[in-house]
Amino acid sequence: MSGLRNRYCIVGVGETEYSRDSGRTTRAMAVEAIGAAVLDAGLGPGQVDGMLSYQLADSTPAPWVAADLGLRLNFYMDVLGGGSSTEALIGLAMGAIEAGMCETVALFRSMNGYTEVRIGGTGARAAQPVRGLDLAQRPYGMTSAGQNFALTFMRHMYEYGTTSAQVAHVRAAHSRHASQNPKALLKERVTVADVLASRWIVKPLHLLDCCLETDNATCLIVTSAERARDLRQRPVYVMGVAGRVSKPRTDFHWAHGPITRVAGYFARDIVFGQAGVTPEDVDVTGSYDAFTFTTMLQLEEYGFCVKGEGGAYVSSGIIELGGRRPNNTSGGHLCEGYTHGMSMVIENVRQLRGTVDDYCPDGREGKHSYDYAPGRCRQVRDATIAMNMGWASPPTGSALILGR
């Protein structure tokens, strides 16, 4: 099951500022992010002829932004969905190109997740009528992502003895990474004690176990390996991709346990099988850190540690810059900003290029100090294989393995 290993590449990445006051429309931000990615790739006018986006009725459709960029499209699709979309849509972009529908696809997510439709579920989202399957949970005051996932986290603590302090290391590690990232919304380093002292949101989640609500747009450009050779950047190859892989009973995943098992359990053989590598071969990971716990669950399920030992794994130092396999070197959704998964793929593309945008004066040209003190470097030395783990919910996830 080798799929299309190394036949497609991510050739351009771009994003807008991560903020809580964009002061403009999702259309304006999408245009900026896509434009930045096109420039990054070194693509000429009109060379992007495919576009994919994902959204939760909170964004701008592809046809609206294409004209702003002078693009006539041979393929576009706006997909309903949030987390787990980035990796899945990279696979769909490859499929569209492979089918001869188009040649080069820009994939974007644009949202005012703080100032317009809040990702945390307050405001307009809380006021929506409750119907269909939502009747199984929302009437019980279970509506936000944290509320929807907390039962999984609590059961993990029961079954495996996982502690709040263990998973708080995820926040601490990602905050260290964010302190080397000029783009990050929260650059201040926090400790495990800070996480445990922050107020409760929905037990077992403290405030600092939860990610940020953010305004931003992000973009990736996918094309074939042949076309990538003529472009500006060192190509980053898609070795394997899986998404949106699901647990049984997606109507109500609680029915099919163990409820501490998440979708990565079913995605891992697909993605590692295509890539022809094992977790040991991966140098950098990008987890979906909507919450500290989600990082732990994904790393367990994809085989970076034994199931149930995720608490020990994430608190061991392995996931920190300078550790064996750093995770979310940008600071991720917990600290850099929330993008529904795309920013962690962008970060891993830059890691594999060796051109992470840290505080090293010539970091973007690939000259790094590898000094991981605050306000310095966040480039991983000789990163050759990176993995991203997308998460929509406990029963749905996506995965991507990239190589240089």
Partner 1 sequence: MPAVEYRGMTLVIPDNDSEWKEYFAAARAHRLILRACVACGRLRYPPSHGCPWCADLGWTWREVSGRGTIHSYEIVVHAIQPGFRDWAPYPVVLVELDEQRGQPTADEALRIVANLVRPDLRPEAEENVAIGKRVRVVFQDLADQVALPQFTLSDEPPAGRVWRLA
Q: How far is the CB of 123 from partner 1 (least distance, A)?
A: 10
132 contributes a contact to partner 1 by CB under 8 A: yes
Instruction: Indicate which single residue of 43, 71, 236, 259 sits in contact with partner 1 (rule: CB under 8 A).
Output: 259
Which range binds partner 1 by CB under 8 A, 78-86, 167-175, 255-263, 292-300?
A: 255-263
240 contributes a contact to partner 1 by CB under 8 A: no
DSSP 51: E
158 contributes a contact to partner 1 by CB under 8 A: yes
Three-state SS at 46: coil
Instruction: Indicate which single residue of 46, 101, 197, 203 sits in contact with partner 1 (rule: CB under 8 A).
Output: 203
Instruction: Indicate which single residue of 45, 72, 80, 140 sits in contact with partner 1 (rule: CB under 8 A).
Output: 140
With respect to partner 1, which residue has the nearer C-beta, 135 or 373? 135
With respect to partner 1, which residue has the nearer C-beta, 67 or 124? 124
392 contributes a contact to partner 1 by CB under 8 A: no
What are 345's strand-pairing partners? none
- Alpha-carbon distances, residue 311 vs 28, 157, 166, 211, 232 (angstroms): 41, 9, 5, 19, 41
Instruction: Indicate which single residue of 19, 147, 198, 384 sits in contact with partner 1 (rule: CB under 8 A).
Output: 147
129 contributes a contact to partner 1 by CB under 8 A: yes
CA dist., res. 366 & res. 104, Å (int) = 26
The number of residues making up the chain comes to 404
What are 206's strand-pairing partners? 200
- Report CA 45 to chain centroid distance, whole Å: 28
Number of shown-chain residues binding partner 1 (CB under 8 A):
44
In the sheet that holds 215-224, the strands lie side by side as: 75-80, 50-55, 104-112, 215-224, 8-15, 236-246, 396-403, 385-393, 284-286
165 contributes a contact to partner 1 by CB under 8 A: no
Q: How far is the CB of 127 from partner 1 (least distance, A)?
A: 8
252 contributes a contact to partner 1 by CB under 8 A: yes
DSSP 270: H
Alpha helices in 25-84 (DSSP H): 26-41, 62-68
Q: Spell out the residues 6+ positions from residue 209 whose beta carbon is closer than 8 angstroms to its own.
A: 164, 167, 168, 171, 195, 198, 201, 291, 292, 293
Residue window 171-200: x/- pattern of binding to partner 1, with contact defined by CB under 8 A: ----------------------------xx
288 catalytic per annotation: yes
The residues in 3-42 that bind partner 1, with binding defined as CB under 8 A, are none
152 contributes a contact to partner 1 by CB under 8 A: yes
338 catalytic per annotation: yes
Which range binds partner 1 by CB under 8 A, 9-17, 60-68, 140-148, 334-342?
A: 140-148
DSSP 92: H
Asked if 38 contacts 48 with a C-beta cutoff of 8 angstroms, the reply is yes
Residues annotated as part of the active site:
288, 338
Point out which residues bind partner 1 (CB under 8 A): 120-122, 126-127, 129-133, 135-144, 147, 150-152, 154-155, 157-158, 199-204, 248-249, 251-252, 254-259
